[in-house]
């Protein structure tokens, strides 16, 4: 499977995401479609026909000056991503990418400034949620994984009725492990999916947990999920 | 006083040059070189390029003593940053620079623009920045001012580095009273480039175009030169006042990608960033380096404020701007790429063969200076050093003389300079870029994976102003060796050195003496380590009415290692043996304990560098062999502190005896427990692995084992006996102490 | 041209972390009797007419899930 990684002015982690997609595909071997190299998708591009999955990476698109993710959602590429998602294509938003997906309405909720207002960067643990999503097919619900947290605006918020809906629809993809909620997110939510499950977003950074030297490879399965779901490949 | 200046005095003539920081003699020299008096634009340009900051007029003669050559050096002093070869066609570019005064005025923006500036130095070489390190100094963390400065500086560094997507992987923070009013913010950037794609800053090719791109030019940081607009200032026009420089990491992020693409497409002849003294410095230095002339038309510069004077445009320090020399046929492509990256760009001039820097406004000449006079004409001064003969800084007692060894150990762990800085480092993105094999705080040096060369590099930054104040020569040698020691414990050997020399007013004999002795020490240590100095920065006049700062040479070092997975960075384990390695001869002179007792004095014990270097090499080889689990050098707070820190990191205690050390060195029990000095390492691991290190001419002694939940260190009749949990509480106590009343207010 | 000013602030009931931090700093700075500090943004702009301003706010300037906005017409 071939990934496209969006690049906005101000993106930071797009090369890391590209690297993670590559490693994930290689690890899956031919069944993961290791032959097709992932590529960057410039924010002005509208033709996504050559890719099978989209990553909206982390960073500070457009400097995050108006509101994290608020401007990037209007880029031509995001219009194409919305169509891609509507057709069932797998879309993964990481950190700023999660914010962009929320701002564009592809995912429910919003991300606010951390409770302590500080940027935080530390290794932390997540609990995999009950959500039905191809991205989670390499994990077990309830599994504990180690993934770095790094963000300044990661406090997940949704009005009470929406939060209730997210919970009752099983749209929670990840929660911070007990006692590790770094930002004041409601219900310890670290990541959610859309109702269909093909769009997922999370604040922590799975692309920084794919190589042994980084201390954890627990993020790899997220990038392999759609391929596993599609082909029945085993991670 | 010269005749001319005497006449001027007699006439009571207004001397704009003095207000701009030029001496009468310097002004006379300018007139002599030009054959006339400079006009306002020219005077503003001279005043900046002949300033200490740009001309290094009080330090350049001394800096010539530093060793700058070595087989791996690709670019040395004089370029935007230094660079060393790391193999496989790649080089690492790096430099450290100060942003002390701006940070004292506005800590958030001062620190942010400091990071932005050093990143641009590395970007200008054609390298992609891959790491930032910071060396910070503040007053004791007991005043609201210090809380405010720390909070702002840490946020500012994080804001810029995090937003740019460049990891901040290491650094150090010290708290000492002489920095109370004059904090130090030194930022180091490390970049990676293909050696054959690196660009120089020299202008070349008469007829080539000069392109300015990046942010618009405004009145930011028009410092001393605003005197030239003093008439307007008197009229109360606030808009004309010098302003704090504001950093825009989003703009710089676009600039970085734009520069990388411009270079990849081979569209540039040369590239230079705009830093201090703005266009004047950048264009002047490009022309000087290339032996060319240059014409700049200020009417073509894209402005943020429409009514700027030519001199303001020439000296503006607006951030996030770059200057490039481009062949005429490629200009269109360059401008198109700038448009792609949504950054402003314009052709603002041309390279000439006149040897003259000509300033035009809409085609008309408004200033004309020979490049040579402007860039290299500033007189260099000899200093007038004087050894003060005694300790000249205040002393303050904060620990009772009769405190028990355990209480001393806890006090040292809680002392701000030693205590954990995790709360600060966690505000920095340390992992973006997917190279960080060791994060800030997890090892003594940060380790970055370089798959491009099939190896890894290690980076460290060190400086201990207090010890340099005790003895500028020995103290600077120690700082350099400490850097090498930090590299050794992750298995790395030094490739090159950068430095930032932070001192007081060099026109004072004591400071001149500190500066001279410190540079001698740096030169000596770098020669002994065979580590060439490839770049650096000097920051003088760091003093307030309370006196000068501690003399603070900050040493940055880049090294390489074969295998990022063997860095001896694991926590020690129950049952591991602990060894003390090296010619460590502990003394309380200049130590953290002596500071807390208010007994600091002049002088540090002498030592030989060669055995220290041998110990460094042994540790490096031991770490590379994978035979040891944990390695650290003995630094601030001595052996007891080093052991306690290892216990805190692993959650397992230790039982160590320093009896053999006492006998060998004939030192006191307190010296052994808390004394400092170069050449000491603590290694831990399987006893068999440690024993293998014997017999190689380096002292090695097993001093104890890892066990239990207490840190026990015995030296004859003195014994440290503290719970690991107590030690940890002391070590983690700084965050609460330093929490600013204004913490959390984002800028 | 119409000059307009858009005030955007966190919705009532949402924790405003920045406002809280400022409020927390006030006693130490010698300010007493000040509470409910909330931090928002002002966007100043010029427009041909006010027709599109609501839509602009809904879609871009504010996130209706977490923010309220007010449009003030300054002159025109």
Residue extents of the structural domains in chain A: 3-231
Chain B residue whose CA is closest to C27: B741
- From the list A19, A113, A150, the residue facing B431 with the nearest CB is A150
| A61, burial (CB in 10 Å: exposed 0-12, middle 13-18, buried 19+) | buried
Report CB contact under 8 Å: B742, C28.
yes
Q: Angle at the Cα of B418 (from B95 to B685), degrees rounded to 5? A: 90
| Active-site residue (options: A14, A103, A125, A207) | A207
Q: Bridge-partner residues for B350, per DSSP?
A: B209, B295
Output DSSP code: residue B415: S
Please state the ipTM of this predicted complex: 0.95
How many CB pairs below 8 Å do chains A and B form together? 89
Chain B residues in contact with A122 (beta carbon < 8 A): 426
Residue B18: the pLDDT is 86
**pLDDT tens for residues A193-225?**
999 999 999 999 999 999 988 889 999 999 999
Report CB contact under 8 Å: A113, B565.
no
What's CA B60's distance to the chain center, in Å? 18
Q: Angle at the Cα of B675 (from B672 to B678), degrees rounded to 5? A: 110
pLDDT at B4 over 70: no
Architecture of the CATH domain B206-352: Alpha-Beta Complex (3.90)
Question: CA A115 to CA A185: how far, in whole Å?
Answer: 8
B742 touches chain C (CB under 8 A): yes
Query: In terms of DSSP bridges, do strands B184-194 and B90-98 run parallel, antiparallel, or are they unpaired?
Result: antiparallel
Q: Bridge-partner residues for B436, per DSSP?
A: B448
Residue B144: the pLDDT is 86
Interface of A with C in 136-155 (CB under 8 A): 155
Lowest-confidence region among A108-117, B84-93, B432-441, B666-675: B432-441
Contact B724, B647 (CB under 8 A): yes
The CA-to-CA distance between both ends of chain C, in Å, stands at: 6
User: What is the pTM assigned to this prediction?
Assistant: 0.92
Question: CA B3 to CA B25: how far, in whole Å?
Answer: 10
Residue B661: the pLDDT is 94
Residue B669: the pLDDT is 96
Report CB contact under 8 Å: A112, C14.
yes
Chain B residues in contact with A117 (beta carbon < 8 A): 744-746
A184 touches chain C (CB under 8 A): yes
* Predicted confidence band of residue B43 (pLDDT cuts 50, 70, 90): very high
Q: What's the Cα-to-Cα distance from B270 to each of B192, B279, B500, rounded to whole Å?
A: 18, 15, 26
* Predicted confidence band of residue B12 (pLDDT cuts 50, 70, 90): very low
Q: Which chains reach chain B with 3 or more Cβ–Cβ distances below 8 angstroms? A: A, C
Mean pLDDT, residues B664-681 taken together: 96
B271 touches chain A (CB under 8 A): no
Chain A residue whose CA is closest to C11: A159
| Active-site residue (options: A43, A95, A102, A208) | A95
**pLDDT tens for residues B576-602?**
999 999 999 999 999 999 999 999 999
Q: Which residues contact A75 (CB under 8 A, 6 or more apart)?
A: A8, A43, A44
| Active-site residue (options: A102, A103, A125, A205) | A205
pLDDT at C23 over 70: yes
Mean pLDDT, residues B226-251 taken together: 57
pLDDT at B459 over 90: yes
**pLDDT tens for residues B166-198?**
999 999 999 999 999 999 999 999 999 999 888
Q: Mind giving me the DSSP string for B286-308? A: HHHHHT-EEEEEGGGS-BSSTT-
Question: CA B228 to CA B637: how far, in whole Å?
Answer: 52
3-state secondary structure of A137: coil
Question: CA B727 to CA B645: how far, in whole Å?
Answer: 8
Report CB contact under 8 Å: C24, B744.
yes
Structure tokens given for B130: 């891959």
To the nearest whole Å, the CA of A216 is away from the closest chain C CA by 32
Residue with tokens 């209706």: C64
Contact B657, B714 (CB under 8 A): yes
B164 touches chain A (CB under 8 A): yes
pLDDT at B747 over 50: no
Q: Bridge-partner residues for B193, per DSSP?
A: B91
Q: What's the Cα-to-Cα distance from B271 to each of B211, B217, B354, rounded to whole Å?
A: 10, 18, 20
Chain B residues in contact with C28 (beta carbon < 8 A): 144, 741-742
B339 touches chain A (CB under 8 A): no
A11 touches chain B (CB under 8 A): yes
Chain B interface disruption, residue of A5, A10, A18, A23, most B CBs within 10 A: A10
* Predicted confidence band of residue B201 (pLDDT cuts 50, 70, 90): confident
Please name the fold of domain B73-196+405-738. 60s Ribosomal Protein L30; Chain: A; (3.30.1330)
A214 touches chain B (CB under 8 A): yes
pLDDT at B9 over 50: no
Strands (E), B549-645: 552-561, 577-581, 630-633
* Predicted confidence band of residue B5 (pLDDT cuts 50, 70, 90): very low
The number of domains in chain C is 1
Chain B residues in contact with C21 (beta carbon < 8 A): 742-746
How many CB pairs below 8 Å do chains B and C form together? 24
Q: Bridge-partner residues for B369, per DSSP?
A: B357
| B397, burial (CB in 10 Å: exposed 0-12, middle 13-18, buried 19+) | exposed
Report CB contact under 8 Å: C17, A109.
no
To the nearest whole Å, the CA of B340 is away from the closest chain C CA by 23
Largest CA distance in chain B: 84
Contact B648, B733 (CB under 8 A): no
A176-207 as b/e: b if 16+ CB within 10 A: bbeeebbbbbbebbbbbbbeebbbbbbbbbbb
A120 touches chain C (CB under 8 A): no
Chain C residues in contact with A71 (beta carbon < 8 A): 60
**pLDDT tens for residues A130-142?**
999 999 999 999 9
Report CB contact under 8 Å: B432, A13.
yes
Chain B residue whose CA is closest to A115: B744
**pLDDT tens for residues B134-166?**
999 999 998 888 999 999 999 999 999 999 999
Residue A33: the pLDDT is 53
* Predicted confidence band of residue B475 (pLDDT cuts 50, 70, 90): very high
Residue B255: the pLDDT is 94
Residue A211: the pLDDT is 92
Domain boundaries, chain B: 1-67, 73-196+405-738, 206-352
Output DSSP code: residue B701: E
Residue B53: the pLDDT is 84
Structure tokens given for B102: 């701006």
Chain B interface disruption, residue of C22, C30, C31, C40, most B CBs within 10 A: C22
Residue with tokens 């691991």: B685
Q: How high does pLDDT run on average in chain B?
A: 91
Output DSSP code: residue B596: H
To the nearest whole Å, the CA of A82 is away from the closest chain B CA by 24
Chain A residues in contact with C21 (beta carbon < 8 A): 117
Secondary structure string (H, E, C) spanning chain C: CEEEEEEEEECCCCCCHHHHHHHHHCHHHCCCCCCCCCCCEEEEEEECCCCCHHHHHHHHHCCCCCEEEEEEEEEC
Q: Which residues contact B436 (CB under 8 A, 6 or more apart)?
A: A214, B131, B167, B169, B430, B446, B447, B448, B449
CATH of domain A3-231: 3.40.50.880
Mean pLDDT, residues B270-294 taken together: 92
Report CB contact under 8 Å: C63, A67.
yes
Lowest-confidence region among A195-204, B321-330, B648-657, C16-25: C16-25
Question: CA B489 to CA B566: how far, in whole Å?
Answer: 10
Report CB contact under 8 Å: B430, A213.
no
Chain C residue whose CA is closest to A109: C65
Range of the domain at C44: 2-75
Interface of C with A in 11-40 (CB under 8 A): 14-15, 17-18, 21
Q: Which chains reach chain C with 3 or more Cβ–Cβ distances below 8 angstroms? A: A, B
Contact B686, B576 (CB under 8 A): yes
Q: How high does pLDDT run on average in chain C?
A: 87
Chain B residues in contact with A114 (beta carbon < 8 A): none
Does residue A151 carry a catalytic annotation? no
Question: CA B702 to CA B580: how far, in whole Å?
Answer: 6
**pLDDT tens for residues A46-91?**
999 999 999 999 998 888 888 888 888 889 999 999 999 999 999 9
Contact C61, C6 (CB under 8 A): yes
Output DSSP code: residue B651: T
User: What share of chain B has pLDDT > 70, as a percent?
Assistant: 94
Give the relative orientation of helices B278-290 and B40-49 as an angle to the nearest 10 degrees. Answer: 70
Question: CA B364 to CA B633: how far, in whole Å?
Answer: 63
**pLDDT tens for residues A93-129?**
999 999 999 999 999 999 999 998 899 999 999 999 9
User: What share of chain B has pLDDT > 90, as a percent?
Assistant: 80
CATH number at residue C40: 3.30.1280.10
Residue B238: the pLDDT is 46
Output DSSP code: residue B354: S
Report CB contact under 8 Å: A109, C65.
yes
Q: Bridge-partner residues for A151, per DSSP?
A: A120
Report CB contact under 8 Å: B254, A117.
no
Return the number of other C-beta atoms located less than 10 Å from residue B142's C-beta. 14
Structure tokens given for B702: 């097993």
**pLDDT tens for residues B296-308?**
999 999 998 888 9
Residue C20: the pLDDT is 83
């Amino acid at each position: 499977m071939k990934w496209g990684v969006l690049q906005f002015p101000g993106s930071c982690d797009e090369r890391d995401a590209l690297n993670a997609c590559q490693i994930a595909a290689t690890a899956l071997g031919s069944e993961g479609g290791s032959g097709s190299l992932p590529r960057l998708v410039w924010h002005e591009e509208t033709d996504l026909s050559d890719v099978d999955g989209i990553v909206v990476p982390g960073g500070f698109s457009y400097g995050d000056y108006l509101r994290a993710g608020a401007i990037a959602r209007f880029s031509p590429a995001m219009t194409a991503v919305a169509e891609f998602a509507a057709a069932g294509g797998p879309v993964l938003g990481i950190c700023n990418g999660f914010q962009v997906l929320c701002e564009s309405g592809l995912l429910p909720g919003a991300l606010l400034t951390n409770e302590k207002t500080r940027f935080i960067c530390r290794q932390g643990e997540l609990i995999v949620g009950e959500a039905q999503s191809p991205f989670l097919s390499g994990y077990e619900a309830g599994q504990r994984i180690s993934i770095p947290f790094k963000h300044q605006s990661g406090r997940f918020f949704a009005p009470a009725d929406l939060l209730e809906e997210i919970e009752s629809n099983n749209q929670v993809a990840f929660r911070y492990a007990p006692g590790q909620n770094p930002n004041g997110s409601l219900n310890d939510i670290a990541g959610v999916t859309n109702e269909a499950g093909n769009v997922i977003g999370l604040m922590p950074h799975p692309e920084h947990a794919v190589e042994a030297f980084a201390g954890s490879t627990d993020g790899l399965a997220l990038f392999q999920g759609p391929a596993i779901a599609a082909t029945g490949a085993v991670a | 006083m010269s005749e001319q200046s005497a006449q001027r005095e007699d006439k009571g003539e207004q001397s704009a040059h003095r207000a701009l920081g030029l001496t009468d003699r310097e002004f006379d020299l300018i007139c002599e070189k030009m054959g006339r008096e400079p006009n306002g634009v020219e005077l503003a340009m001279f005043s900046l390029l002949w300033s200490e900051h740009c001309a290094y007029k009080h330090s350049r003669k001394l800096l010539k003593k530093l060793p700058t050559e070595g087989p791996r050096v690709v670019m040395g002093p004089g370029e935007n940053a230094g660079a060393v070869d790391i193999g496989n066609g790649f080089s690492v570019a790096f430099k450290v620079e100060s942003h002390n005064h701006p940070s004292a005025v506005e800590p958030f923006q001062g620190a942010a623009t400091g990071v932005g500036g050093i990143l641009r130095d590395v970007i200008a070489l054609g390298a992609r920045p891959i790491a930032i390190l910071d060396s910070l100094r503040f007053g004791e963390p007991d005043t609201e001012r210090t809380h405010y400065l720390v909070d702002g500086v840490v946020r500012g560094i994080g804001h810029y580095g995090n937003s740019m997507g460049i990891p901040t992987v290491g650094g150090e923070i010290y708290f000492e009273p002489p920095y109370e009013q004059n904090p130090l913010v030194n930022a180091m950037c490390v970049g990676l480039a293909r050696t054959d794609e690196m660009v120089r800053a020299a202008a070349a090719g008469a007829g080539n175009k000069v392109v300015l791109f990046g942010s618009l030019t405004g009145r930011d940081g028009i410092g001393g030169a605003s005197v030239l607009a003093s008439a307007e200032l008197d009229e109360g026009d606030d808009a004309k006042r010098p302003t704090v420089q504001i950093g825009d990491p989003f703009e710089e992020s676009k600039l970085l990608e734009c520069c990388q693409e411009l270079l990849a497409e081979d569209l540039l002849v040369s590239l230079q960033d705009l830093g201090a003294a703005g266009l004047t410095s950048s264009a002047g230095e490009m022309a000087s380096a290339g032996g060319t002339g240059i014409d700049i038309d200020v009417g073509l510069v894209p402005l943020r404020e429409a009514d700027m004077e030519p001199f303001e445009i020439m000296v503006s320090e607006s951030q996030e701007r770059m200057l490039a020399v481009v062949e005429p046929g490629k200009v269109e492509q360059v401008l198109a790429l700038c448009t792609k990256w949504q950054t402003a760009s314009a052709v603002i001039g041309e390279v000439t063969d006149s040897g003259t820097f000509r300033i035009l406004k809409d085609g008309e000449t408004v200033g004309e200076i020979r490049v040579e006079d402007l860039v290299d004409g500033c007189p260099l001064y000899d200093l007038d050093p004087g050894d003060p003969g005694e300790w000249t800084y205040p002393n303050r007692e904060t620990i009772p003389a009769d405190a028990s060894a355990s209480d001393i150990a806890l006090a040292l762990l809680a002392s701000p300079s030693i205590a954990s800085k995790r709360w600060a480092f966690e505000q920095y993105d340390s992992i973006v870029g997917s190279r960080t094999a060791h994060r800030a705080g997890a090892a003594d040096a940060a380790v970055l994976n370089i798959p491009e060369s099939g190896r890894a590099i290690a980076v460290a930054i060190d400086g201990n102003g207090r010890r340099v104040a005790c003895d500028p020569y020995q103290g600077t040698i120690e700082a350099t060796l400490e850097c090498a020691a930090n590299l050794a414990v992750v298995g790395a050997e030094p490739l090159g050195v950068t430095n930032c020399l932070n001192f007081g007013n060099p026109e004072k004999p004591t400071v001149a003496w500190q500066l001279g002795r410190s540079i001698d020490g740096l030169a000596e240590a770098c020669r002994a380590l065979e580590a060439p100095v490839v770049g650096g920065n000097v920051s003088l006049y760091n003093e307030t009415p309370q006196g000068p700062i501690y003399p603070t040479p900050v040493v940055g070092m880049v090294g390489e290692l074969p295998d990022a997975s063997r860095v001896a960075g694991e926590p020690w384990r129950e049952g591991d043996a602990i060894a003390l390695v090296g010619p460590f001869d502990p003394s309380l002179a200049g130590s953290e304990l002596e500071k807390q007792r208010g007994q600091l004095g002049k002088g540090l014990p002498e030592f030989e560098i060669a055995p220290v270097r041998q110990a460094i090499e042994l540790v490096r080889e031991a770490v590379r062999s994978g035979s040891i689990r944990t390695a650290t050098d003995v630094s601030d707070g001595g052996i007891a502190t080093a052991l306690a820190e290892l216990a805190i990191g692993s959650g397992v205690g230790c039982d160590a005896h320093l009896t053999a050390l006492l006998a060998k060195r004939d030192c006191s029990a307190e010296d052994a427990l808390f004394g400092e000095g170069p050449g000491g390492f603590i290694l831990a691991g399987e006893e068999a692995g440690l024993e293998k290190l014997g017999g190689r001419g380096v002292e090695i002694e097993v001093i104890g084992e890892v066990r239990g939940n207490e840190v026990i260190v015995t030296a004859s009749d003195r014994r440290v006996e503290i719970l690991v949990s107590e030690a940890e509480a002391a070590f983690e106590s700084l965050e609460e102490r330093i929490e600013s009343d204004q913490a959390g207010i984002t800028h | 041209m119409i000059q307009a000013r858009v005030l955007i602030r966190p919705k009532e009931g949402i924790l405003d972390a920045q406002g809280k931090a400022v409020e927390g700093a006030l006693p130490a700075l010698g300010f007493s009797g000040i509470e409910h500090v909330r931090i928002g943004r002002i966007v100043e702009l010029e427009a041909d007419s006010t027709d599109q301003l609501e839509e602009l706010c809904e879609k871009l300037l504010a996130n209706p899930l977490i923010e309220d906005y007010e449009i003030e017409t300054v002159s025109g």
